[in-house]
Amino acid sequence: MKAVFLLLVCVTVCAVLGVCEGGNLRRNFYEKSCPLAEEIVQNVTWKHTSTNPILPAKFLRMHFHDCFVRGCEGSILLNSIANSKAEKDAIPNLSLTGFDVINDIKAQLETKCPGVVSCADILALATRDSVSFQFQNKKPIWEVLTGRRDGRVSLETEALANLPSPFSNFTTLQRSFVSQGLNIHDLVVLSGGHTIGLGHCNLFSNRLYNFTGKGDQDPSLDPTYAAFLKTKCKNLADTSTVEMDPKSSRNFDADYFVALNQKKGLFQSDAALLTNKGASKIVNELVTSTSFFKEFGQSMKKMGAIGVLTGKLGEIRKKCSVIN
Ligand code: HEM
Ligand SMILES: *[C@@H]1O[C@H](CO)[C@@H](O)[C@H](O)[C@H]1NC(C)=O
Ligand SMILES: *[C@@H]1O[C@H](CO)[C@@H](O)[C@H](O)[C@H]1NC(C)=O
Ligand SMILES: *[C@@H]1O[C@H](CO)[C@@H](O)[C@H](O)[C@H]1NC(C)=O
Ligand SMILES: *[C@@H]1O[C@H](CO)[C@@H](O)[C@H](O)[C@H]1NC(C)=O
């Protein structure tokens, strides 16, 4: 009885303080079963990133989309099957690429340790390694725990239901993150992922041309910046791309938060972070890169542990695009 009570207290404390961020994941899970696993992922990721500088942004977003739908269990990597569209074929998939790189990493791991390393772990590691290679002179920007196993289900409908839209207000964003076990702090910090990469005009041009249906502009967008964006996005139907972090999308830094405060957040979902007092305060704390990096690492660790399958759950896929 006492033991049960203690266990309950531990679980509660752990949940409240968030110290159980890693869940059942561990450091270097493949140490015995495939000692070179993390090195192989890193080598192959670096090789691809060196010739493909957009890969870090692609992987960062792919990892986020994986984790927010059924947890980080590689379901974003699965192809659609007869009569069932997969997550990767849902509308929010817009511009996801890099699946071929994941498949290449997996193929190389299968020659060394067949059936051992999960696709979910590969995505988590490759994301960290590509971002670190490109933006931090190869030094790991955050720690990735391993031991994830792969899921067997991937549904377009679940991607549509669980991925936050760029048109979301703060309430909706908060609800989305809280339902994943993340808090407002994580929401603000992880939105900093938008320090790299591109966004399509049609996902924010309503803010430039027809915000309330009267041909008007979003007043929460800096007018000079809006004028600049109009030169890139000619009309509501334009599907060109622009940097999400203006002039700094090739640096992984805290400029995203500086831009936000200057009313230069690209999406309504970015600007929404300033509409909540608590969130806005966190934005102000993240404008220096040292604090952003530290916080980003911690929130990525939390995100990387969402709904993971460990132990005997799930499977280790042979190919990342199909279940065994
Ligand atoms: C808070 C809710 C979020 C919303 C509504 C959102 C929405 C979006 C949208 C609409 C795009 C542009 C896609 C395109 O036009 O091709 C985008 C890009 C991106 N997002 Fe987010 N995002 C969110 C959170 C995150 C998080 C948590 C991360 C990772 C930590 C992330 C990382 C990225 C990256 C790296 C890109 C650039 C992709 C590229 O260049 O192809 N986002 N996001
Ligand atoms: C990874 O790359 C390094 C540097 O090129 C090389 O020394 C090492 O043997 C590679 N590791 C594996 C497992 O291929
Ligand atoms: C995204 O979904 C669309 C619509 O189902 C599909 O045609 C496209 O190939 C998908 N894109 C990626 C990168 O999977
Ligand atoms: C936020 O968006 C949701 C969904 O579109 C809507 O129901 C809600 O009223 C909005 N909340 C605020 C405060 O605007
Ligand atoms: C702007 O929005 C209104 C209301 O939704 C719509 O009637 C109008 O056609 C839109 N204007 C353009 C240029 O699409």
Binding-site members are 66, 69, 71, 75, 87, 164, 194-195, 245, 253
**Residues whose beta carbon lies within 6 Å of some atom of ligand 4:** 169, 171-172
What's 242's DSSP letter? Answer: E
Which residues fall in the annotated binding site for heme b?
Answer: 194
Per residue of the chain (324 residues), what is the pLDDT tens digit?
A: 444 444 444 444 444 433 445 668 999 999 999 999 999 999 999 999 999 999 999 999 999 999 999 999 999 999 999 999 999 999 988 789 999 999 999 999 999 999 999 999 999 999 999 999 999 989 999 999 999 999 999 999 999 999 999 999 999 999 999 999 999 999 999 999 999 999 999 999 999 999 999 999 999 999 999 999 999 999 999 999 999 999 888 899 999 999 999 999 999 999 999 999 999 999 999 998 899 999 999 999 999 999 999 999 999 999 999 999
The pick from 62, 69, 88 for probing ligand 3's pocket by mutation, whose C-beta has the most ligand atoms within 8 angstroms, reads 88
48 is catalytic: no
Q: What is the pLDDT of residue 250?
A: 87
Nearest atom within ligand 3 for CA of residue 90? 2
Round to whole Å and give the CA distance between 318 and 324: 6
**Mutation probe of ligand 4 site: the residue of 165, 167, 169 with most atoms within 8 A of C-beta:** 169
The closest ligand to the CA of 216 turns out to be: 5
259 Cα: distance to centroid of ligand 5 (angstroms): 29
- This prediction has a pTM of 0.93
Identify the pLDDT of residue 95. 85
**How high is the pLDDT of residue 121?**
98
What are the chain's domains? 18-163 (1.10.520.10), 170-300 (1.10.420.10)
Return the ligand 1 atom nearest residue 63 CA: 29
Q: What is the DSSP string of 174-240?
A: HHHHHTTT--HHHHHHHHGGGGSSEEEGGGTTHHHH-SSSSS---TTS-HHHHHHHHHHS-STT---
Exposed / middle / buried, residue 230 (Cβ in 10 Å: 0-12, 13-18, 19+): middle
pLDDT digits (tens, 9 = 90+) for 261-271: 999 999 999 99
CA 238 to ligand 4 centroid distance, Å: 26
CA-to-CA distance for 179 and 159, rounded, in angstroms?
A: 14
pLDDT computed for residue 163 by the predictor: 97
E strand or H helix that includes residue 243: strand 241-243
Per DSSP, the three-state class of 241 is strand
Distance (angstroms) between ligand 5 centre and the Cα of 217 equals 13
Residue 315, number of CB atoms within 10 A of its CB: 18
Nearest CA to ligand 5 atom 8: 213
Among protein residues, the one whose CA lies closest to atom 9 of ligand 5? 213
Protein residue whose Cα sits closest to atom 5 of ligand 2 = 43
From the list 63, 65, 185, 200, the catalytic residue is 65
Which helix (H) or strand (E) covers residue 55, if one does? helix 55-68
pLDDT at residue number 23: 65
* Contact 235 CB / ligand 5 (< 6 Å): no
Query: Would you state the pLDDT for residue 93?
Result: 80
Nearest residue (CA) to ligand 2, atom 10: 43
